[in-house]
Structure 1
Amino acid sequence: MDKGLKVLNKSPFQKLTAVASALALLSGCSYKNITGQEVKAEVLKQKTNEQKSQKGGEDSPKPNIVYIVLDDSGFSDIGSYGSEVKTPNLDWLAANGLRYNNSHVTPVCSPTRASLLTGRNPHDIGMSTVANFDMGPEYENKRGRIYPEAGTIAEVLSENSYNNYALGKWHLSPSHQVTPAGPYENWPLGKGFDRFYGFLEDSGDQYRPELIQDNSPVDVPKKENYHFSEDIVDRANQYVTDQASVNPEKPFFLYLSFGAQHQPVQVPKKYIDMYKGVYDKGWDKIREERFNKQKQLGIIPKDTKLPGLNPGVKPWDQLTNDEKKAFIRFQETYAGFLTHTDEQIGRFIDKLRSVGELENTMIVFLSDNGTSSMGKNTGSINHTLPYNDVPEKLEDVVKHIDDIGSERAGAESPTGWAQVSNTPFKFYKATTFEAGIHTPLIVYYPKVIKDKGAIRNQYVHVSDITPTVYDVLGIDIPKEIKGVKQMELQGQSFSDSLRSAKSSGKETQYFENNGQRAIYHDGWKALTLHKKGDPYEKDVWQLYHVAEDFSESNDLAAKYPEKVKEMQKLWEKEARKYGVFPMTDIAGEGFLTIPKDSIRARNTFTFYPGMSRLSESASPFIINRSYSITVPIERDSASDDGVLVALGGYESGYTLFIKNNKLVYEYNMGNAVYRIESKENVPVGKSAIRFEFRKSESNKGIGSLYINGQKVGEGEISKTHQYKIAFEGLDIGKDTLYPVSTDYQNKGIFEFSGEIEKVVYELN
């Protein structure tokens, strides 16, 4: 036996030979019956099993896969990427996993999410811009949906014995399909997920979101101090607990997509108070401190240059006291929001640990694009206004400074702080500069990653993440899903980099968003800063050697004109290959494009009492047109009152209601409220209530109230929304979530106590 035990330092072949010999002696058998060929086969089997174990293969438990996505959070926002913001749980993931410092996404959210979940480029699968914009069949690359030829990771893993859960923001169905009656094929359950809990559009209120569970709208839980980020993690933890308890042998894929850090920036006051005094020094100093910390951490090269302030951003010492006061509060709130989000991520990690699944889980963390400039130079306290290109006044911001972070403000930080989030880069989300597309990426998978806390420099694109997961799992995508032939993956696996810092990264990647273009190739990058309305052929191309100029500080286009031409040709080649054409440079106008197959293409709508809330994006399209709303009602007494129709909330919207026997219509622009009240009482018994809007000029007109065909009130509405009315949907017979009118803000949902026969919209 002594000989049989002394094998620890021998080769696998020698180990197996010695063990086989010892076993033969113990059993009384002759070792000569075990051939060298058989031993070699056993060694090969052992190596194969080890490889399967590393990839979560048949001979080891398949790993769980988790994607954690932040929204509109910049490259420098979390602690392990240079920030002063407290993010201990994300920093723990980084310390026990890998940080990628050269990872890229698309410039806006929906294309990034589509690319992430499918492993393909967004244009080729119908999602070249945000899902709010469905340009119709003439623009196959802008349908606001993922084509069935591009199966999601949930659909693929469903065929490999995984349960699939999605929580949080979706934003991958055409917004006009966000209705309580579907169609559902582009909702999460139609894309391979077994469960969904969250919201379907681009943003959601953190305190009173428009919630969907699976395929049904649900009420906000009646919970004290409710917050959406906490809610989705509660649900995620429930899903994990249920699976670990009942079906522990089955792996899961969980997509945890926070509304944070997208506007509205809302978080309990105690998190804002954590940062009192931190930002008093201003954005110039904070940006410089982050830049220096990034160098110390090795997140950016030592020779990186810090570009100057973006156009329109003033140096901190040139701001007024009121500006400084307001802007400090914005950043305290943003930082508190991120710390709160990190806390929820920590709760989820703790749940994985408590049920024994953390070590068998691969976690991928990223942000979907850089930080937004929608707050403009003043910051925003009403996020409907920037969506409609309506400037906000500093005095209004200062007046409501204590509301920032609360349910009374749809807040977003000013551009000076947005540039800080995107340190060390210039510009913002929606551009193809690095600030728009270069975000953090953390990968945690202890079964494979051995050099914990290391930084990887390989060029990575969001389309590469899911192919990497498939590679780790050792699975191929099916040739067909639900009878639809599948297109090839376009992303490139970077699984080798999980084990080795020396592996290569992606060589070429194109970018395009609403006319903004870029191409990366072998350490070089060319891009345009397209001006809306200009011919694309007149765009001026810039050139950066990003392998040596991390922050795009030195435009080399004039020095290397032939290189610019070469990169332009390469962009054109990649664009044609991946369905970028036809291009558009739409912005807010995308909200006005109504395809023929959309519910909003109708000119007549009939709604009945009891209908679930209908999203604003699928509601009757009244923007910049004449229309009428007719409501046959019956009142048993003069005390019957309440809301007949309401769309929106305190930020903006419109409402038609009866109070104190008077019929009232209010249109809340966000910075002005137009009110029309009837001169006559609403009669008891049956009556026909009618509101008419007659357009007089662009986004302007006359509103009139009628009772039984008689005009009882009239007024001018001198300004209406040009792109989007509100971020809260249409209610019939009540006003749920936030009240449109302060006139009934203390009356709850102010449900109409009489009877409504129906509500009829007629649009010209």
Structure 2
Amino acid sequence: MSLTEYTAGTVFPGVIGRTADESTPAWPAPARAERGSPNVLTVVLDDTGFGQLGCYGSPIRTPNLDRVAAAGVRFSNMHTTALCSPSRSCILTGRNHHSNGMAAITELATGYPGYNGNIPFENGFLSETLAEHGYSTYMIGKWHLIPSSQETGAGPYDRWPLGRGYQRFYGFLGGDTSQWEPDLTYDNHQVEPPRTAAEGYHLTADLADKSIQFIADAKQVDPDKPFHLHFCPGATHAPHHVPKAWADGYAGAFDDGWDAYREQVFARQVELGIVPADAELSRHDPDVPEWGALTDDQRRLYSRMMEVFAGFLEHTDHHIGRVLDFLESIGELDNTIVMVVSDNGASAEGGLTGTTNEAQFFNNAPEPFEDSLAAIDELGGPRHFNHYPWGWTWAGNTPFRRWKRETYRGGTSDPFIVAWPQGIAARGEVRTQYAHIIDMVPTILELVGIDAPKTIRGVTQSPLHGVSFAHALADPGADSRRRTQYFEMLGHRAIYHDGWRAVCPWPGPSFAEAEQAFGDPISEHQLAQLDQSGWELYHVAVDFAENHDVAADNRERLIALIGTWYAEAGKYDVLPVDGSAVARMVSEKPLVAAPRDTFTYYPNTQSVPFFAAPRVLNRPHSITADVEIPDGGAEGVLLCQGTSAGGYSFYLRDGRLHYVHNWVARELFRVSSPDAIPAGRHELRFEFEPTGAPDIAAGRGAPGLFQLYVDGTLVAETEAPYTTAIVFNPGQLTCGADPGSTVVADYPAPFRFSGTLHTVKVDLSGHLITDEEAELRMALARQ
């Protein structure tokens, strides 16, 4: 006898009698997708520019993404927000980034509706919609869609992937992580990588493994159930980490420099039809030196940095190919909608000269060129957090000007590939219709035959801001349905309407021309001046790469577009305009817990992200561990924060107590006890007392006195000339171990404390031990 099923919430269709033999059962029907519904695979690359994929004209080998392009279409006019968290929120909600509370990355959240980093529940995720229609939903890789203070064991978990419609998650919650020694989360709990870098581990391979496993787990039980896989590798965001052989495969490939790269890629883009035949390559960027003006050593280093990036991208493509191969092997690839996009243009976070440690960028502390050159043979390996220089950023966005964080097309125009062999007839074609990533959700829903939900889990849904471009997949001559789109990122603004684009750069068209660095705030007076004379106008319908500013000849049109920008800004919570960066990062933000000066941590617990941890930089503080040392001694980490890119570690090794401050991977400032800590229960304490003011502009945090105490007695002290200025990035705090990329090379990960560690307390009250006699002894001993 067949089962009777009914929709939950409707009248029970069975019969309920006094006994089972006179009753008829019926069952609530499980959510099932329509038979034959396509799978949905969305691949989000990170910091990959318009001119960096093979199928977009690059010499970098991306055969698997090229394979997707050959099976479908490439868009030449897809746009993003110019930054990762905002773009990722658009991709998953179909709403504009300020309406998602994602004006910038979550670390730069501020207390305004468009800026607070909390995506409203009325802006439902694609995963939530598809899950309600019987899809398996998997999130793999980078999330970066919750306030950093919520990435903790205290939650709240309602904005983690499993709280937003994903049934399984494996990846990392923040903006970046080491590819060799990543900070990993599995569903709602922290895990360690299954292998070490020395054993051949790499994050991208691990993410591909989990993608295949998750799909196989469900398909072996219910072969007809479709899936949505949101695959978000950390590539090609810094650190550019890749096995050496992949980078070596590009030896010499970029020796002609970034100018030659642009010319080569641009010619290929014209040949491929990715850019119009009459397009012009954008100007040489004033912030980028001419390749020929560099020294031999500079060219050698910068070429190697690009070789490492290219190997990283090809390596990523290889593992995307593994997922595609698996889908093909189980007969699912032809009925899978594949969308591939980058979250923004190529990144300039490596600075003018590139870096072996991206954390130096965030702390205003660029390393001397000689230090970078000395590490040339180790670039891409686990010891560094490397990123290439501005020249390769600019080249990576060929043919456009500028880069990530800015709303010129170099920041907002990205590769976008769509394929669905069973549902889209086009093969290897190019689409020129204007589109924005908010259009991805309505397009997917149209393709799978699902209406946007009116409610999700009882929450009334806001209207989608995106419009479907499904019609253009079948018809290359179809009209663009998106006619208007605003842009704002860190005070850099733009507006598109019907083939025209107005841009108001901040601080200017380039740093050199503005004579001002990125990240300064905008005053009301400055905003008025910008609106009066700072807007540029481009007729992008005929000026593909924004080369000809025609504002002077089209004043009325420009004024109308500026007015449209403000109308859109009012509609989507864009105001207030804020050009600041560091000020946003260091501003006070709400924590899950009430404000306090004392924090207590326990071993074997989940790590705490930087923005939820005690803010110890540039202020007096103490760290006190309550430990028991067994006979024979103990060693291990008591408390640490950060990675080899920068941070601090408080630990025992060789019986002695140590504190080390890693200043952006350039210098180690340490203090150590002269004697071993004896067996028994002890209070081990570190204190930092600032002795001067920080010099933030120079990348140097407050100098200060480092002191170690054992049971209240001062046993060692030293003075650090400076400390970290702004942020540890990555900056997770861990009690009782140093998992992943260790703060110092003195010990191997995770270096768990082998004695008994009861608690570690961090005190920010400023109350420090005063022991004048001991301090005098220490001072005399240093003479």
- Does the CA contact (< 8 Å) of 2:192 and 2:739 recur in 1? no
C-alpha displacement at 1:601, in angstroms?
Answer: 4.2
* Residue of structure 2 aligned with 1:687, choices 682, 688, 699: 682
Output aligned runs, 1:458-477, within 5 Å: 458-477=433-452
C-alpha displacement at 1:331, in angstroms?
Answer: 0.7
- Does the CA contact (< 8 Å) of 2:33 and 2:133 recur in 1? no
1:239 partnered with 2:233? no
Output aligned runs, 1:284-433, within 5 Å: 284-433=259-408
Q: Deviations over 1:91-125 (max 9, x none)?
A: 11111101100000011000101001011111112
- Does the CA contact (< 8 Å) of 1:72 and 1:429 recur in 2? yes
- Residue 559 of structure 1 corresponds to 553
C-alpha displacement at 1:449, in angstroms?
Answer: 1.8
C-alpha displacement at 1:58, in angstroms?
Answer: 8.2
- Residue 17 of structure 2 corresponds to none
Cα distance in 1 for partners of 2:417, 2:749 equals 44
- Residue 91 of structure 2 corresponds to 116
- Residue 417 of structure 2 corresponds to 442
Deviates more, 1:300-309 or 1:209-218: 300-309
Q: Deviations over 1:367-404 (max 9, x none)?
A: 00001111112111012111112112110110000110
Cα distance in 2 for partners of 1:512, 1:498 equals 28
- Residue 734 of structure 1 corresponds to 737
Cα distance in 2 for partners of 1:675, 1:246 equals 56
Output aligned runs, 1:553-592, within 5 Å: 553-592=547-586
| Structure 1: gaps of 5 or more residues | 1-56
1:197 partnered with 2:189? no
Cα distance in 1 for partners of 2:34, 2:758 equals 64
* Residue of structure 1 aligned with 2:544, choices 537, 550, 556: 550
| Structure 2: gaps of 5 or more residues | 1-31, 508-519, 695-700, 766-783
**Amino acid corresponding to residue 756 of structure 2 in structure 1:** E
C-alpha displacement at 1:561, in angstroms?
Answer: 1.9
* Residue of structure 1 aligned with 2:712, choices 709, 720, 723: 709
Secondary structure at the residue paired with 2:92?
helix
- Does the CA contact (< 8 Å) of 2:171 and 2:185 recur in 1? yes
Cα distance in 1 for partners of 2:589, 2:291 equals 46
1:222 partnered with 2:198? no
Q: Deviations over 1:165-214 (max 9, x none)?
A: 01010000111111133221110000000000000000011111111111
Identify if the C-alpha distance between structure 1 residues 122 and 203 changes in structure 2 by more than 3 Å, giving closer, same or farther: same
1:641 partnered with 2:632? no
1:596 partnered with 2:590? yes
Identify if the C-alpha distance between structure 1 residues 478 and 753 changes in structure 2 by more than 3 Å, giving closer, same or farther: same
C-alpha displacement at 1:728, in angstroms?
Answer: 4.6
Cα distance in 1 for partners of 2:361, 2:33 equals 52
- Residue 3 of structure 1 corresponds to none
Deviates more, 1:256-265 or 1:271-280: 271-280
- Residue 144 of structure 1 corresponds to 117
Cα distance in 1 for partners of 2:325, 2:654 equals 54
Secondary structure at the residue paired with 1:408?
coil
Cα distance in 2 for partners of 1:212, 1:82 equals 36
C-alpha displacement at 1:473, in angstroms?
Answer: 2.0
C-alpha displacement at 1:438, in angstroms?
Answer: 0.1
- Does the CA contact (< 8 Å) of 2:607 and 2:732 recur in 1? yes
- Residue 533 of structure 1 corresponds to 521
C-alpha displacement at 1:739, in angstroms?
Answer: 2.3
- Does the CA contact (< 8 Å) of 2:151 and 2:609 recur in 1? yes
Deviates more, 1:732-741 or 1:258-267: 732-741
Q: Deviations over 1:632-670 (max 9, x none)?
A: 222233632322111122221101122334322111112
Identify if the C-alpha distance between structure 1 residues 58 and 144 changes in structure 2 by more than 3 Å, giving closer, same or farther: closer
Q: TM-score, normalising length from structure 2? A: 0.88
C-alpha displacement at 1:680, in angstroms?
Answer: 5.0
C-alpha displacement at 1:222, in angstroms?
Answer: 1.9
Cα distance in 1 for partners of 2:211, 2:145 equals 20
Cα distance in 2 for partners of 1:379, 1:638 equals 47
Output aligned runs, 1:157-172, within 5 Å: 157-172=130-145
Q: Deviations over 1:238-270 (max 9, x none)?
A: 122222221112111110011000000000111
**Amino acid corresponding to residue 355 of structure 2 in structure 1:** S
- Does the CA contact (< 8 Å) of 2:603 and 2:737 recur in 1? no
* Residue of structure 2 aligned with 1:725, choices 725, 728, 739: 728
- Residue 44 of structure 1 corresponds to none
Deviates more, 1:218-227 or 1:151-160: 218-227
Output aligned runs, 1:582-661, within 5 Å: 582-599=576-593, 601-637=595-631, 639-661=633-655
- Residue 76 of structure 1 corresponds to 51
- Does the CA contact (< 8 Å) of 1:378 and 1:393 recur in 2? no
Cα distance in 1 for partners of 2:276, 2:625 equals 65
Deviates more, 1:617-626 or 1:266-275: 617-626
Secondary structure at the residue paired with 2:638?
strand
1:676 partnered with 2:671? yes
- Does the CA contact (< 8 Å) of 1:244 and 1:355 recur in 2? no
Identify if the C-alpha distance between structure 1 residues 663 and 60 changes in structure 2 by more than 3 Å, giving closer, same or farther: closer
Identify if the C-alpha distance between structure 1 residues 597 and 617 changes in structure 2 by more than 3 Å, giving closer, same or farther: closer
**Amino acid corresponding to residue 187 of structure 2 in structure 1:** D
C-alpha displacement at 1:84, in angstroms?
Answer: 0.5
C-alpha displacement at 1:600, in angstroms?
Answer: 8.8
- Does the CA contact (< 8 Å) of 1:267 and 1:405 recur in 2? yes
Cα distance in 2 for partners of 1:661, 1:715 equals 20
Identify if the C-alpha distance between structure 1 residues 581 and 659 changes in structure 2 by more than 3 Å, giving closer, same or farther: same
**Amino acid corresponding to residue 606 of structure 1 in structure 2:** T
- Does the CA contact (< 8 Å) of 2:624 and 2:762 recur in 1? yes
- Does the CA contact (< 8 Å) of 2:642 and 2:732 recur in 1? yes
- Does the CA contact (< 8 Å) of 1:615 and 1:728 recur in 2? yes
Secondary structure at the residue paired with 2:144?
coil
**Amino acid corresponding to residue 703 of structure 1 in structure 2:** F
Cα distance in 2 for partners of 1:495, 1:660 equals 65
C-alpha displacement at 1:530, in angstroms?
Answer: 1.5
C-alpha displacement at 1:681, in angstroms?
Answer: 4.4
- Does the CA contact (< 8 Å) of 1:515 and 1:536 recur in 2? no
Cα distance in 1 for partners of 2:203, 2:749 equals 21
Cα distance in 1 for partners of 2:654, 2:255 equals 49
C-alpha displacement at 1:405, in angstroms?
Answer: 0.7
**Amino acid corresponding to residue 596 of structure 1 in structure 2:** P
Secondary structure at the residue paired with 2:651?
strand
Q: Percent of counterpart pairs with the same letter? A: 40
- Residue 209 of structure 1 corresponds to 182
Q: RMSD over aligned Cα, in angstroms?
A: 1.6
Identify if the C-alpha distance between structure 1 residues 91 and 600 changes in structure 2 by more than 3 Å, giving closer, same or farther: farther
- Does the CA contact (< 8 Å) of 1:600 and 1:620 recur in 2? no
Equivalent pairs counted in the alignment come to 704
- Residue 488 of structure 2 corresponds to 512
Identify if the C-alpha distance between structure 1 residues 443 and 600 changes in structure 2 by more than 3 Å, giving closer, same or farther: farther
Q: Deviations over 1:519-541 (max 9, x none)?
A: 00000011111122342222211
Identify if the C-alpha distance between structure 1 residues 480 and 419 changes in structure 2 by more than 3 Å, giving closer, same or farther: same
Q: TM-score, normalising length from structure 1? A: 0.90
**Amino acid corresponding to residue 143 of structure 1 in structure 2:** N
Larger Rg: 1
Secondary structure at the residue paired with 2:624?
strand
**Amino acid corresponding to residue 183 of structure 2 in structure 1:** E
